[in-house]
């Protein structure tokens, strides 16, 4: 229901306004209750285990994969993503290098075989497009275009 | 169907949309009335050929409107001067639908605007969520048939590090079975995603050391004592060192270590706390500034209360002075050490439950688990119980060993020096002696842990 260190009043106000619900074709507060950015109603079970075997399987299907990390995030730190991608990727096809947006270093990236790329976004927190919107969009565009 | 779902205007936005937007529900289980809400912002470039992206926020339990409002959505949201007014919206120059057709999906049912008519549906899981989301996709591409041929990518962050691959696997399996409509899955992207208990659980110590948040002595000792294994801990000394590290990190904003932490009740905060929504707000209590405008002393944060949204103040709760509390806690822990056990058990069911205040810290641990809060949702990163969660990939013997280790770790952690999860209660005043007992974590997350047990 709440998130430490974040002010969520904008989403709380906007998403619970009847005119907004109506405009978005969403059920009203009286029908489905108040919107919360994160809910406590779920009783959630993590039953899928580690994602690593699944990533390996999917990479075998020829899918294009980008794993990125805002490098200021302490919640899911980049060190974990860097480690598992390194172990899964094995063979480096494009070594570590900086990547740039408007001549500024936006982060660092490495590409492994089987279309797996790991990239950091320098100075970004947990929610990368929020902290570094321009860099996030640039990264997204390059990924979609199949560019480094 | 498309026409009736079109969103033609949104309160707070005066201009014209840069492309067509749609919103509505798709039933993933008619019988139980399980309905998922989506918002579909088509590409502002070339919707007919640009890729379709499904965006999922994490939690578990967090709405993808986090992505829509605060991250990559078509609009920037600017807080109104008063909280009774609607935010002002303007076009977001960095919206991802500049170059792609983006579908924001609230999943699983119960999250955001999604719902079920059958409350037991809110008892859910990774695998069930993946199946439902696949069902959603098939219905979505049936409804928006012309987009089915476009390249399709799945994207998300945080706990969506679980949602994304599990869904991708469902889609791949569906394609193999010839399920229609054929989804043109090309790839996926995950930001700061959860992946694996071992990798993620061992990531924090090297991160905080690399960022200079803990000193070399503590880091070296952690490596030596814990043997670089921080997620499945059985050594009391390692537990103690991890607690010491937690103490060093507890006042940081875990989502961005250099950002201030927003405290809704921080009247005394000299600088500006960061408000979500890229436009920094001015009507917020606690300062008008935002990123880069922090005028006050950062270290003042140390003396602040915890975020009000996370603290339930009862009688006697209030601004008790964290310094004094800390001293008391240390004194209490010292006493516990001497007594050789935590007093969680003996405090259970005591009558002084009223007037307590419950604290939820950003990062804490319980019974051998090292846990972290994801934005609004909660995740245990390294957990003894996680071994059981991964049981599907383990041999029975390994599973037994994991369970033994978990129980041993739990014993160690609960009986050792560290009492990680505390609930403090003021006794007859604002600075009353704190009493440690289990229960700092929100209920739903505790339930998650219990389920694993």
Q: What is the DSSP letter of B130?
A: H
Tokens 């199946």 correspond to: B131
Query: Closest chain B residue to A28 measured between Cα atoms?
Result: B113
CB distance from A91 to chain B under 8 Å?
A: no
| pLDDT tens string B205-214 | 999 999 999 9
* Local structure of B369: helix, strand or coil: strand
Look at residue B2 in the predicted model and tell me its pLDDT.
67
Question: How buried is residue B330: exposed, middle or buried, by Cβ count under 10 Å (0-12/13-18/19+)?
Answer: exposed
| pLDDT tens string B177-222 | 999 999 999 999 999 999 999 999 999 999 999 999 999 999 999 9
- Partner-chain contact A42 B60, CB within 8 Å: yes
CB distance from B165 to chain A under 8 Å?
A: yes
Q: What is the DSSP letter of B432?
A: P
Phi first, then psi: give them for residue A34, nearest 5 degrees: -75, 145
pLDDT at B53 over 60: yes
pLDDT at B84 over 90: no
| pLDDT tens string B140-160 | 999 999 999 999 999 999 999
pLDDT at B348 over 50: no
* Local structure of B381: helix, strand or coil: strand
- Partner-chain contact A75 B83, CB within 8 Å: no
| C-alpha to C-alpha distance for A63 and A85, rounded to whole angstroms | 15
Residues of A in contact with B99 (CB under 8 A): 137, 140-141, 144
CB distance from B187 to chain A under 8 Å?
A: yes
Look at residue A8 in the predicted model and tell me its pLDDT.
86
Look at residue B331 in the predicted model and tell me its pLDDT.
62
Tokens 């003996």 correspond to: B346
Please name the residues in contact with B375: beta carbons below 8 A apart, sequence gap of 6 or more. Answer: A3, A6, A37, A38, A75, A126, A127, B57, B58, B59, B62, B66, B158, B255
For B61-98, letters b (16+ CB in 10 Å) and e give bbbbbbbbbbbbbbbbbbbbeeeeebbbbeebebbbbb
The confidence band for B310, taking pLDDT boundaries of 50, 70 and 90, is very low
Helix (H) or strand (E) holding B24: strand B21-29
Task: Residue count of chain B, please give it.
Answer: 453
Look at residue B354 in the predicted model and tell me its pLDDT.
33
| pLDDT tens string A106-117 | 999 999 999 999
Check if the beta carbon of residue A90 is closer than 8 Å to that of residue A79: no
| C-alpha to C-alpha distance for B239 and B249, rounded to whole angstroms | 15
Look at residue B329 in the predicted model and tell me its pLDDT.
58
For B99-114, letters b (16+ CB in 10 Å) and e give bbbbbbbbbbbbbbbb
Residues of B in contact with A54 (CB under 8 A): 165-166, 168-169
Query: Closest chain A residue to B453 measured between Cα atoms?
Result: A45
| C-alpha to C-alpha distance for A66 and A69, rounded to whole angstroms | 10
The C-alpha R_g of chain A, in whole angstroms, comes to 19
**How high does pLDDT run on average in chain B?**
71
**Cα distance from B338 to chain A (closest Cα, Å)?**
34
Query: Closest chain A residue to B22 measured between Cα atoms?
Result: A24
- Partner-chain contact B206 A79, CB within 8 Å: yes
Compare CB distances from A63 to B51, B186, B204 and report the shortest one's residue: B186
The confidence band for B328, taking pLDDT boundaries of 50, 70 and 90, is low
Please name the residues in contact with B330: beta carbons below 8 A apart, sequence gap of 6 or more. Answer: none
Q: Which of B385, B421, B442, B449 is nearest to B233 (CA)?
A: B385
Per-residue CA distances from B297 to B251, B271, B302 (Å): 14, 7, 10
Residues of A in contact with B284 (CB under 8 A): 7, 9
Tokens of B453: 């047990």
| C-alpha to C-alpha distance for B101 and B209, rounded to whole angstroms | 40
Helix (H) or strand (E) holding B380: strand B378-382
Please name the residues in contact with A10: beta carbons below 8 A apart, sequence gap of 6 or more. Answer: B69, B70, B77, B79, B87, B275, B276, B277, B281
Look at residue B80 in the predicted model and tell me its pLDDT.
86
Check if the beta carbon of residue B80 is closer than 8 Å to that of residue B88: yes
pLDDT at B412 over 50: no
Look at residue A19 in the predicted model and tell me its pLDDT.
97
Is the predicted ipTM greater than 0.90, yes or no?
yes
Extract the residue ranges of chain A whose pLDDT is less than 70.
1-2
Look at residue B337 in the predicted model and tell me its pLDDT.
53
Look at residue B209 in the predicted model and tell me its pLDDT.
97
pLDDT at B449 over 60: no
| C-alpha to C-alpha distance for A75 and A78, rounded to whole angstroms | 9
Look at residue B305 in the predicted model and tell me its pLDDT.
25
Please name the residues in contact with B19: beta carbons below 8 A apart, sequence gap of 6 or more. Answer: B41, B42, B43, B44, B47, B74, B97
Torsion angle (degrees, nearest 10) of CA B208, B379, B265, B246 = -30
CB distance from B377 to chain A under 8 Å?
A: yes
Helices and strands (H, E) in chain A, number of each type: 7, 5
Look at residue A9 in the predicted model and tell me its pLDDT.
87
pLDDT at B374 over 50: no
The confidence band for B330, taking pLDDT boundaries of 50, 70 and 90, is low
Look at residue B263 in the predicted model and tell me its pLDDT.
75
Look at residue B436 in the predicted model and tell me its pLDDT.
25
Q: Residue window 261-320, chain B: list those with CB within 8 Å of chain A.
A: 261-264, 273-278, 281, 284, 307, 309-310
Phi-psi region of B186 (alpha: psi -120 to 50; beta: other; left: phi over 0): alpha
**Cα distance from B341 to chain A (closest Cα, Å)?**
30
Angle at B187 between CA B185 and CA B193, to 5 degrees: 130
pLDDT at B21 over 50: yes
Mutate to test the interface with A, among B126, B191, B200, B389 (most CBs of A within 10 A): B191
Q: Tell me which of B27 and B403 has the higher pLDDT.
A: B27
Q: Tell me which of B95 and B269 has the higher pLDDT.
A: B95
* Local structure of A100: helix, strand or coil: strand
| C-alpha to C-alpha distance for B403 and B453, rounded to whole angstroms | 9
**How high does pLDDT run on average in chain A?**
95
**Cα distance from B10 to chain A (closest Cα, Å)?**
6
Q: What is the DSSP letter of B113?
A: T
- Partner-chain contact A78 B192, CB within 8 Å: yes
| Most confident of the ranges B7-11, B248-252, B265-269, B345-349 | B7-11
* Local structure of B123: helix, strand or coil: strand
| C-alpha to C-alpha distance for A83 and A89, rounded to whole angstroms | 10
Compare CB distances from A83 to B25, B188, B199 and report the shortest one's residue: B199
Q: Give the pLDDT mean for B249-276.
A: 69
Look at residue A87 in the predicted model and tell me its pLDDT.
95
The rounded percent of chain B whose pLDDT value lies above 70 is 58
**Cα distance from B203 to chain A (closest Cα, Å)?**
5
CB distance from A44 to chain B under 8 Å?
A: yes
pLDDT at B373 over 90: no
């Amino acid at each position: 229901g709440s998130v430490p260190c974040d002010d969520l009043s904008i989403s709380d106000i906007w998403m619970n306004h009847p005119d907004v619900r109506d405009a978005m074709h969403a059920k009203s507060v009286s029908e489905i209750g108040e919107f919360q950015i994160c809910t406590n109603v779920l009783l959630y079970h993590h039953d899928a285990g580690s994602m690593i075997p699944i990533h390996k399987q999917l990479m075998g299907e020829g899918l294009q994969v980008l794993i990125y990390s805002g490098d200021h995030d302490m919640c899911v730190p980049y060190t974990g993503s860097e480690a598992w991608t390194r172990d899964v990727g094995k063979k480096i096809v494009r070594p570590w290098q900086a990547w740039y947006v408007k001549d500024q270093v936006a982060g660092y990236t490495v590409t492994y075989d089987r279309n797996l790329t790991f990239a950091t976004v320098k100075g970004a927190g947990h929610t990368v497009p929020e902290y570094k919107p321009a860099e996030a969009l640039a990264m997204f565009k390059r990924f979609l275009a199949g560019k480094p | 169907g498309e026409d009736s779902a079109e969103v033609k205007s949104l309160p707070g936005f005066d201009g014209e949309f840069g492309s067509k937007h749609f919103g509505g529900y798709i039933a993933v289980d008619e019988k139980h009335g399980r309905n998922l809400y989506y918002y579909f912002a088509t590409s502002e470039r070339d919707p007919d050929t640009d890729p379709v992206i499904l965006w999922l926020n994490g939690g578990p339990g967090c709405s993808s409107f986090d992505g829509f409002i605060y991250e990559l959505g078509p609009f920037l949201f600017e807080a109104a001067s008063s909280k009774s007014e609607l935010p002002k919206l303007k076009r977001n120059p960095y919206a991802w639908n500049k170059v792609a057709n983006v579908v924001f999906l609230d999943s699983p049912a119960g999250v955001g605007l999604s719902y079920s008519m059958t409350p037991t549906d809110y008892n859910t899981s990774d695998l069930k969520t993946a199946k439902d989301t696949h069902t959603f996709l098939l219905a979505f591409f049936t409804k928006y048939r012309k987009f089915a041929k476009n390249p399709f990518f799945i994207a998300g962050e945080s706990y969506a590090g679980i949602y994304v691959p599990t869904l991708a696997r469902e889609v791949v399996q569906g394609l193999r079975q010839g399920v229609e409509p054929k989804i043109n899955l090309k790839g996926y992207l995950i930001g700061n995603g959860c992946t694996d208990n071992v990798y993620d659980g061992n990531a924090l110590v090297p991160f905080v050391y690399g960022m200079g948040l803990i000193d070399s002595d503590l880091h070296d000792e952690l490596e030596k004592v814990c043997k670089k294994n921080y997620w499945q801990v059985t050594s009391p000394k390692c537990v103690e060192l991890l607690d010491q590290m937690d103490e060093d990190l507890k006042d940081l904003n875990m989502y961005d270590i250099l950002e201030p932490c927003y405290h809704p009740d921080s009247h005394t905060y000299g600088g500006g706390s960061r408000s979500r929504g890229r436009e920094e707000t001015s009507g917020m209590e606690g300062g008008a500034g935002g990123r880069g405008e922090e005028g006050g002393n950062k270290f003042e944060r140390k003396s602040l209360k915890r975020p009000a949204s996370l603290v339930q103040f009862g009688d006697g709760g209030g601004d008790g002075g964290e310094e004094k509390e800390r001293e008391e806690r240390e004194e209490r822990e010292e006493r516990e050490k001497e007594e050789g056990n935590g007093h969680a058990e003996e405090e259970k069911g005591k009558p002084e439950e009223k007037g307590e205040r419950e604290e939820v810290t950003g990062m804490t641990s319980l019974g051998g688990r090292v846990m972290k809060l994801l934005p609004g949702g909660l995740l245990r990163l390294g957990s003894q119980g996680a071994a059981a969660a991964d049981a599907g990939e383990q041999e029975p013997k390994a599973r037994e060993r994991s369970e033994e280790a978990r129980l041993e770790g739990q014993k160690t952690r609960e009986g050792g020096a560290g009492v990680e999860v505390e609930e403090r209660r003021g006794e007859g005043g604002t600075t009353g002696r704190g009493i440690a007992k289990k229960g700092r974590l929100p209920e739903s997350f505790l339930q998650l842990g219990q389920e694993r047990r």
